Amino acid sequence: MNSNFIDENLIFEYIEKYQNPDSKLVDDVINKALELNGLSIADAAILLNTKNQDDIQKIYHAAYKVKDEIYGKRLVLFAPLYVSNYCSNNCLYCGFRADNKEISRTTLSIDQIKEETLGILEQGHKRVLMLMGEQHKNCPTDFFFDAIDAVYSVKDSKGNSIRRINVEIAPLNDEEFQRISQIKIGTYTVFQETYHRETYKFMHPSGKKSDYDWRLTTMDRALSNGLHDVGIGALFGLFDYRFEVMAMIQHSEHLDKNYGAGPHTISIPRVQPANNAPASHHLKYAVSDDELKKLVAVLRLSVPYTGMILSTREPAHLRTQLFDLGISQISAGSKTNPGGYKQAFSEKVDEGQFTLNDCRSSGEIIQDVIKQGFIPSFCTGCYRLGRVGQDFMDQAKPGLIKIYCQPNGLTTLREYLNDYADDDTKKLGNELIEKELDLIPNESVKEKTKEFIDRIDNGERDLYF
Ligand code: SF4
């Protein structure tokens, strides 16, 4: 498969060409972005290169506006579920790397996966991101299928179950993609980690992952073989952040042009320290908080329709700021070691894939999100109704998707408040629901949402648009 859609020379050329752009040029790009049609890599280079604080503030405001236009005030929540930490790769920045002999390796049993799922459900989650390392012997494809069934089979004491499982597993071949396209999964995600070929080679010295092209063409194989929604990402800190952002824009353009659906999600993790992961400690290309804020905003303007994911790697105060700059999906209450939600399975508590910096409980995060004026959402409506792939993009690109996001955010928040929240969160959440209900512009959607909320208060669950 063709992997030359990442044009390194062109990216470097634009980074060089648009050093210190003047404010007029920045304004022109921002105005273009506000039309919601995205930006080219040249446009992105202009925004990424500006150091003028007034211009940066304008970029931030535009990013807030674009996210609000497309998705409204909802922030979708999910929890990661690590089912195995065996891995045959040796990524120099990762605590699960094969050469790390100090970590205890586990593949959860089906019963343990069910227990973990219960731990996640008890936090109020309805979406899971299932992850496992790349090692066929201990995590074969059949195990993955059984694990998916196991997660969906669990009901908690409130009668709730997981409604959508997104997956982050190693790149598959055509036949494997055809097989997983037949089961109930949401978005399939693989990070390129770094799009810079030479850095990629250095960071991935052995294992199947050392093949840059195999990894880069993963989403082509996925979308050619029956999957609808894919997620991409870069691990910031491995190479120049401007390069990675522009390469992700090129990757998005490639997918959109060839398959009618750009990335359903883009993730923007930064490298965090991990045990026995040498490249996670002294980063030549470390990304500062301000640079992270800028790159999030520029990605929101460049690929406006995509869901942007922020994990608990980042500290609470920074996460709060990033919500205003275009983030639309967040993890909460996360554990990154298999068995982490029910520590009984795990002998050590510090063996996650990387260090977490937002250790608040899901409940605390949800309350803070409400206080910030965003709607914590557990919505899975699009996936359940088949609004996926190009159908989803057709609604997301012009900003029509929020017609569903807003009411579904409110109904799923009401479920959460009734089933899991403490009294303070309940009060704050219900006030937010009242306020936001009034703001729904379409009268019939407003009435239907009120009806759903009444039915939820009377014990029904899982009502959505
Ligand atoms: S309506 Fe669709 S896009 Fe909006 S939150 Fe729900 S699942 Fe996501």
Average pLDDT rounded to a whole number, residues 235-240: 98
Cβ atoms of 108 and 148 within 8 Å: the answer is no
Q: Residue whose CA is closest, atom 4 of ligand 1?
A: 405
Joined together, the tokens standing for residue 5 give 């859609």
Residue 301 predicted with pLDDT over 70: yes
Cβ atoms of 119 and 344 within 8 Å: the answer is no
pLDDT of residue 282: 87
Average pLDDT rounded to a whole number, residues 93-103: 92
200 C-alpha to ligand 1 centroid (Å): 34
Is residue 388 in contact with ligand 1, taking CB distance under 6 Å? no
Q: How confident is the model at residue 435 (pLDDT cuts 50, 70, 90)?
A: very high
pLDDT tens-place string over residues 10-46: 999 999 999 999 999 999 999 999 999 999 999 999 9
**Could you tell me which of 205, 139, 129 has the C-alpha nearest to residue 172?**
139
Joined together, the tokens standing for residue 250 give 């090129």
Q: What percent of the chain has pLDDT above 70?
A: 97
Q: What is the pTM of this model?
A: 0.96
Is residue 377 in contact with ligand 1, taking CB distance under 6 Å? yes
Reduced to 3 states (helix: H, G, I; strand: E, B; else coil), residue 308 is strand
Average pLDDT rounded to a whole number, residues 298-315: 97
Angle at CA 442, nearest 5°, toward 436 and 448?
A: 75
What b/e sequence results for 13-30 when a residue is b if at least 16 CB atoms lie within 10 Å of its CB, and e otherwise?
ebbeebeebeeebbeebb
Residue 197 predicted with pLDDT over 70: yes
Residue 356 predicted with pLDDT over 90: no
Joined together, the tokens standing for residue 320 give 């709060």
**Dihedrals phi, psi of 314, to nearest 5 degrees:** -90, 145
**Could you tell me which of 61, 414, 158, 103 has the C-alpha nearest to residue 276?**
103
Is residue 392 in contact with ligand 1, taking CB distance under 6 Å? no
405 C-alpha to ligand 1 centroid (Å): 5
Distances (CA, A) of 328 to 259, 331, 426: 23, 11, 22
Partners of 188 in beta bridges: 167, 230
Is residue 329 in contact with ligand 1, taking CB distance under 6 Å? no
Q: How far apart are CA 418 and CA 426, in angstroms?
A: 8
381 C-alpha to ligand 1 centroid (Å): 6
Is residue 408 in contact with ligand 1, taking CB distance under 6 Å? yes
Q: How far apart are CA 365 and CA 360, in angstroms?
A: 6
- CA dihedral sign of residues 17, 21, 24, 28: positive
Strand runs (DSSP E) across 108-253, as ranges? 127-132, 164-168, 188-189, 230-233
* Pairing assessment for the beta strands 375-377 and 74-84 based on DSSP bridges: parallel
Chain mean position to CA 158: 27
Cβ atoms of 416 and 376 within 8 Å: the answer is yes
Strand runs (DSSP E) across 121-217, as ranges? 127-132, 164-168, 188-189
Is residue 381 in contact with ligand 1, taking CB distance under 6 Å? yes
Reduced to 3 states (helix: H, G, I; strand: E, B; else coil), residue 151 is helix
382 C-alpha to ligand 1 centroid (Å): 5
Mutate to test the pocket of ligand 1, among 264, 327, 379, 403 (most ligand atoms within 8 A of CB): 379
Mutate to test the pocket of ligand 1, among 68, 382, 384, 388 (most ligand atoms within 8 A of CB): 382
Joined together, the tokens standing for residue 76 give 């979708």
Write the DSSP assignment of 207-241 as a string of letters.
SGGG-HHHHHTHHHHHHHTT---EEEEB-BTSS-H
Which amino acid is it at 272?
Answer: Q
> What residue segments make up the domains of the chain, in order of their start?
68-386+389-393, 400-457
Cβ atoms of 75 and 327 within 8 Å: the answer is yes
Average pLDDT rounded to a whole number, residues 423-441: 97
Average pLDDT rounded to a whole number, residues 220-233: 98
pLDDT of residue 92: 96
Q: How confident is the model at residue 336 (pLDDT cuts 50, 70, 90)?
A: confident
280 C-alpha to ligand 1 centroid (Å): 34
pLDDT tens-place string over residues 105-124: 999 999 999 999 999 999 99
Q: How far apart are CA 416 and CA 195, in angstroms?
A: 39
pLDDT of residue 1: 78
Cβ atoms of 326 and 66 within 8 Å: the answer is yes
329 C-alpha to ligand 1 centroid (Å): 10
Q: How far apart are CA 256 and CA 184, in angstroms?
A: 23
pLDDT of residue 346: 46
Residues 68-386+389-393: name the CATH superfamily: Aldolase class I (3.20.20.70)
Distances (CA, A) of 314 to 77, 210, 340, 370: 15, 27, 19, 19
Q: Residue whose CA is closest, atom 2 of ligand 1?
A: 382
**H/E element, 77:** strand 74-84
Joined together, the tokens standing for residue 372 give 């910030």
Residue 348 predicted with pLDDT over 50: no
Classify burial at 178, counting beta carbons within 10 Å of its beta carbon; exposed 0-12, middle 13-18, buried 19 or more. middle
pLDDT tens-place string over residues 80-93: 999 999 999 999 99
Cβ atoms of 70 and 396 within 8 Å: the answer is yes
Q: How confident is the model at residue 3 (pLDDT cuts 50, 70, 90)?
A: confident
Q: Residue whose CA is closest, atom 5 of ligand 1?
A: 405
Taking phi over 0 as left and psi of -120 to 50 as alpha, with beta for the rest, 305 belongs to: alpha
Q: How far apart are CA 214 and CA 335, in angstroms?
A: 29
**Dihedrals phi, psi of 5, to nearest 5 degrees:** -75, -10
pLDDT of residue 5: 98
pLDDT of residue 125: 98
- SS3 percent helix, strand, coil of the chain, rounded to 5, is 50, 10, 40
Is residue 410 in contact with ligand 1, taking CB distance under 6 Å? no
Q: Residue whose CA is closest, atom 1 of ligand 1?
A: 405
